[in-house]
Every structure is written in structure tokens, then in C-alpha cells.
Amino acid sequence: MIYNCFVKKIKKFNQEEVNIIKNVWNVNCTHLELYNAKHQCPICKKKFKRLPDVETFRKLILQFNATDTAWADVFKTDRSSVTKIRNKINPIKTNTIWDQNRFNDEKKYYNYLDKKPVEDYLSLLKKFPRSSEAQLLKIAEITKEYLELFLQNDFYLNSEYQNIKDYRTYGVSDYLYCVKCKIKKSINKFDTVGVDKTFAKLCTYCAELNLQQYNKLLDKNKSNE
């Protein structure tokens, strides 16, 4: 087998490459684009495992050097799910210089704690509730270890951090993100569902399009019976 390490990364698979991948891993459902990976297919009445096992994915990434977004498109899932299975093959090793001793030494050396980087991170955390903490830490240019040490030494900012985390979990923004069209829209463009009246993950327009596709498939299946 020829390793792919010197091949330019694939951002989107062509049809020939998709066919090769499907010969290795394929899900026996043609409706994957119509429903969320967490749910069962409304047509087949079954829940399908979209991602391959670790060993199968290992074989595939040796054959194709592709971005996680490209793999997600083939498997009809989200990029983070692909990243998780890739990390099982190549675990990310993180080394940090930040421990309590280093934190105390630097505090003593400068004779104060600079709150601005942590305050910037907390601002991002509140402003972008759907972004992961890991993503926002990178933007704020601080590490998780440093943040934890800092919050242990600042009661006020630690309280604010806990309040923001509660807000991210339970709070409702004036805008919500549609997982289908990938756009943030005002909450009046989302229906509420269930007894607890939680907002749908799809905007009303995308939900209507999904319903139309679903009804077409039902009509097609009935005509073939």
C-alpha cells in the first residue's frame, strides 16, 4: 500500500473516490441526508451507524489523505464525530508548562495577575454559546490549564465563569443556529417542540423543505408497492 502523507489533502471526494470508500464502508440507507444521525430513518424505520469502526477508518485514511470535513460529507455526519474517531487512531498529546508552581512563580515575578486574557475569554464564551470552549480558548490564546489555575485564584472571575456556563446550558439567545443551512437566525424563525417547548434545531424553512422531501419519498414508496 502507498501511504498518502505526500499527497495533497482532499477537501471534497469525487465520485470515483466515493465509490472506492463505499466498497470499504457503506451504510445500507439512501435517505441519510433527510434525518439527523441520532435518529432512526423515517423510511427504513431503523437507526444506522454512519461511521466506520476504528480499524476500518484507519485503512481508509491510509488510502486517502482528506480533511475531516470531506470524510463527514461522505459519511453524512458532522466533522466533530470524524475528528473523534481520528483521535482514537492518533491521540493528541498535549504538553503544558502550566502547573501551580509555575503559576505562583510568574505571579511573584510580575507581582500581579493580568486578568485581561481571561476576561476576553469569558466575553467570547458568553457571546458565542454554540462554539466549544476549546475553540474559544484558541481564539483567546490561553490554555485550559492556565484558565483553571487562574480561576482557582480569582473568586470573582470564577463565579462569572460558572454563571456563563449556566447561561450557555440553559439560557435562550435572541438568535439560534440552524443545523441544516448553517446560518444563525432570529428565534421567530424556529418552531418550538415537545411539552417543554424547546426550540427546534432546524429553522422553519429548512424543516418545511425536509418535510417536502420526506413526503415525496413516501409517495414514491407507495407508488412502488
Asked if residue 184 and residue 165 are part of one domain, the reply reads no
Do strands 184-186 and 175-177 pair parallel, antiparallel, or not at all (unpaired)?
antiparallel
Residue 62 domain-assigned? yes
67-116 pLDDT, tens per residue? 999 999 999 888 888 988 988 887 765 667 888 899 999 989 999 889 99
Average pLDDT, integer, range 57-70 = 91
Domain boundary at 65, 89, 113, which?
89
Question: What is the domain count for the chain?
Answer: 3
Residue 48 domain-assigned? yes
Asked if residue 107 and residue 58 are part of one domain, the reply reads no
Do strands 192-193 and 198-199 pair parallel, antiparallel, or not at all (unpaired)?
antiparallel
Asked if residue 84 and residue 29 are part of one domain, the reply reads yes
Amino acid at 138: K
Residue 3 domain-assigned? no
Asked if residue 55 and residue 20 are part of one domain, the reply reads yes
Residue 94 domain-assigned? no
Residue 127 domain-assigned? yes
Q: What pLDDT sits at residue 94? A: 60
Domain boundary at 66, 89, 112, which?
89
Domain boundary at 89, 118, 146, which?
89
Give one word for 195, left, alpha or beta, with left for phi > 0 and alpha for psi -120 to 50: alpha
Residue 53 domain-assigned? yes
Host domain of residue 153: 100-170
Q: What length is written for the chain?
A: 225
Asked if residue 128 and residue 80 are part of one domain, the reply reads no
- Under the banding of pLDDT at 50, 70 and 90, the label for residue 3 is very low
Angle at 178 between CA 143 and CA 67, to 5 degrees: 55
**Cα–Cα distance between 130 and 127 in angstroms, integer?**
9
Would you say residue 225 has pLDDT above 90? Answer: no
The set of residues, in sequence order, having a beta carbon less than 8 Å from that of 223 and lying 6+ positions away, is: none
Average pLDDT, integer, range 121-135 = 88
Residue 198, H or E segment: strand 198-199
Average pLDDT, integer, range 2-17 = 74
Would you say residue 48 has pLDDT above 60? Answer: yes
Residue 27 domain-assigned? yes
Residue 8 domain-assigned? no
Average pLDDT, integer, range 178-188 = 86
Asked if residue 130 and residue 104 are part of one domain, the reply reads yes
What is the percent of the chain where pLDDT is above 70? 92
Average pLDDT, integer, range 30-36 = 81
**Which value, to the nearest 10 degrees, does the dihedral of the CA atoms of residues 155, 161, 162, 165 take?**
180
Q: What pLDDT sits at residue 172? A: 58
Q: Which grid coordinates are listed for 91?
A: 491521540
Q: What pLDDT sits at residue 6? A: 47
> What is the number of helices (H) and of strands (E) in the chain?
10, 4
Other CB atoms within 10 Å distance of the CB of residue 206: 20
Q: What pLDDT sits at residue 95? A: 66
Asked if residue 71 and residue 21 are part of one domain, the reply reads yes
Asked if residue 108 and residue 83 are part of one domain, the reply reads no
Asked if residue 164 and residue 114 are part of one domain, the reply reads yes
